[in-house]
Structure 1
Amino acid sequence: MPLKRTPPKSPHVATLDVHPLQTHSQSDPSISVTHNPETITTKTMQRVKRKRDRSAEQSELDDFRTTIMDILKELQSTVSEIKEQNVKLQESVDFTAHKYDEILTKMKQMEEARREDKKYILSLEYKIDKLEQQSRATSVEIRNLPKRNGETKQNLLDTLNDIYKAIKLPPQVSDVKDIFRNNNKTSTPTVIVEFGTVKNKESLLQHIKKFNKENSNNKLNTEHLRIQGPKIPIYCSENLSSKSKRLFFLARELAGHEKYKFCWTTHGKVYLRKEEGAPLCRIDSEGDISKLRQQK
């Protein structure tokens, strides 16, 4: 009798309940589809977060652009103001430069006019000095002559006669046009003698010069004129103009410092000579004195 291989029915039969949504008629039976609610929620939140992040970035970018535009507008406004200021500054500089050129031109004109005026003044001074010297062409001045009490012109004429006698020259008092004392309290006592001719003036000066040269140890002084009191040297020279007197004073001062042996005047001109045989130097202005000082 054959054995039945059919297993007996189990008392517990497992029944597989398949949900209609879980049935995939055409899917690979090896693929298992699982739907996790937590996973779905996380992905959704990530997407929302990404959208929010992008929105925030866009907002920040817009704010940045707005800020940059504001800065650019402000910068453009500032540049425009600077340009306007530069234009005004350039106009001011141009105006100042124009005025400066005008002032410079006027200064040059004034400087040229000053030079011309100076030349003209010098020429006038030269003419005035020449006229003044011509008016004194026949005059001599006697310095260091003591003044007597109640002195008169006759007293002065008598003193002049004594000078002629001392130097052994025939008296020429008759040719004297005028004789007077220069009452300048600030200068050396001086007597001015005006002759009628230049010849008599030159004759007196030449003889006094000769007398002093022959009597170098006892030059003309108050003892020769029989004037009481201390022995005082008497100097006699041309009656120079103010300018020539100044030059003669400076020339004598230079001669003393620089060891010039000779310093004299002739016809209102001042001369210097270093020594015998040396070339003479004519002094026409104070500039000539300065040049001689520099030559040292």
Structure 2
Amino acid sequence: MPINRTPPTSPHPLTSVAGTDEPATTLLCFESTLHQCASAPNLSADSNITERKKRKFDGAVSNSSEKINRTMFAAFSNKQESYYEDLMSKMNSIIEQNVELKKSVEMMSEKYDEFLSRITTLEAEKREDRKLIQQLEDKIELLERSTRATGIEIRNVPKTEGETKDDLCGLVMNLGQSLNLDFTQTDLKDVHRFKTKGNSSPIHVNFTSVIAKEKVMNGIKTFNKNKDKSEKLNTTHLKIKHVKQPVYISECLTFKTQKLYYLARTQHKNYGYSFCWTSRGVVYLRKKTGDPQIRVNSEADFEKLRCSNSI
């Protein structure tokens, strides 16, 4: 029995687009194109596909490139070698400088040790010299103090016109009478007035003995004790007329002791001391009645007093 087969429906032919000049594409052309794209084994035959050809190797170009590379490498090597030689030269120079510097430092170190040893020796000698100088100053101070041990100073006594040594001796005798002291001119070794610009320069009296001087100093303390300020020793007691002013008498002190006495009088209250005086050329301090006296030998003692009071 025969088989009846219905052929496939043919596609409608493509018509041209209305209003254009493009021709209609037929199914036959479409199938032919599709068949050619899907089954053509030789793709190079297609005029629309270009073939990429390999570049053939050129031996001359390769040799030239290799030569250039070798030249560049040689130039680079020469440059590096020159740089290395220059670097080594500089390093050797630095090493030499370091060696010289090390020698200089070692020499300076030796000199420093030598100078340090000398300075240490000089400082030790300086300390010994200071001790010796202090000992000599103390001896000179003792000698000056011994030469002034018999002297007193009378201050604030007006100078009269044409004053002579006899007039000064008369003032001292009048002083002895006011103090009820029995001494004569034979007890006086010398009397003179210091030359100063003022009209009442101090009068220096030098006795023949320390005992006579001590009698005068003790007599003055007794005379001024328990008296009003106006009744204490003044010029009327020396029989000086037409003027009445206080008279001050003290020991003859050395320059060093005068400075210490001045500092003690101006600062003793700051350290809590109520009494300040001199005796036989030495400065003393005392806090209150009944307390032991403190001897001041140098300015360093004031610093010790300050430290002891701050504790």
Fold agreement, TM-score > 0.5: yes
Q: Secondary structure at the match of 2:268?
A: helix
User: Aligned partner of 1:99: which letter?
Assistant: K
Matched, 1:88 2:122: no
Cα RMSD between the aligned structures? Answer: 2.4
Query: TM-score normalised to the size of structure 1?
Result: 0.78
Cα distance in 2 between the residues matched to 1:125 and 1:184: 28
Aligned equivalent of 2:70? 58
Residue 245 of structure 1, aligned match among 252, 255, 258: 258
Residue 294 of structure 2, aligned match among 263, 281, 290: 281
User: Aligned partner of 1:239: which letter?
Assistant: C
Residue 271 of structure 1, aligned match among 268, 273, 284: 284
Matched, 1:226 2:239: yes
1:140 to partner: Cα distance: 1.4
Cα distance in 1 between the residues matched to 2:198 and 2:101: 64
How many residues in Structure 1 have an aligned counterpart in Structure 2? Answer: 256
User: Aligned partner of 2:283: which letter?
Assistant: V
Aligned equivalent of 1:3? none
Matched, 1:108 2:108: no
Matched, 1:97 2:109: yes
Segments of 5+ residues of structure 1 without an aligned counterpart are: 1-38
The answer to whether the 8 Å contact 2:158/2:199 transfers is: no
Aligned equivalent of 1:43? 56
1:65 to partner: Cα distance: 1.7
Cα distance in 1 between the residues matched to 2:294 and 2:302: 10
Q: Map of 1:186-197 to 2, 5 A cutoff?
A: 189-197=201-209
Larger displacement relative to structure 2 (170-179 or 122-131)? 170-179
1:274 to partner: Cα distance: 2.3
Change beyond 3 A, Cα 1:203–1:96: same
The answer to whether the 8 Å contact 1:180/1:191 transfers is: yes
1:255 to partner: Cα distance: 3.1
Residue 77 of structure 1, aligned match among 76, 89, 107: 89
1:135 to partner: Cα distance: 1.4
User: Aligned partner of 2:181: which letter?
Assistant: L
Q: Secondary structure at the match of 2:278?
A: strand
User: Aligned partner of 1:84: which letter?
Assistant: E
The answer to whether the 8 Å contact 2:151/2:252 transfers is: yes
> Alpha-carbon deviations, 1:52-107, whole Å to 9, x = none?
33332222222222211111111000000001111111122222222222222222
User: Aligned partner of 1:176: which letter?
Assistant: L
Cα distance in 2 between the residues matched to 1:231 and 1:260: 33
Segments of 5+ residues of structure 2 without an aligned counterpart are: 1-52
Q: Map of 1:144-293 to 2, 5 A cutoff?
A: 144-185=156-197, 189-217=201-229, 218-255=231-268, 260-293=273-306
1:189 to partner: Cα distance: 1.7
User: Aligned partner of 1:232: which letter?
Assistant: Q
User: Aligned partner of 1:80: which letter?
Assistant: N
Query: TM-score normalised to the size of structure 2?
Result: 0.75
The answer to whether the 8 Å contact 1:247/1:283 transfers is: yes
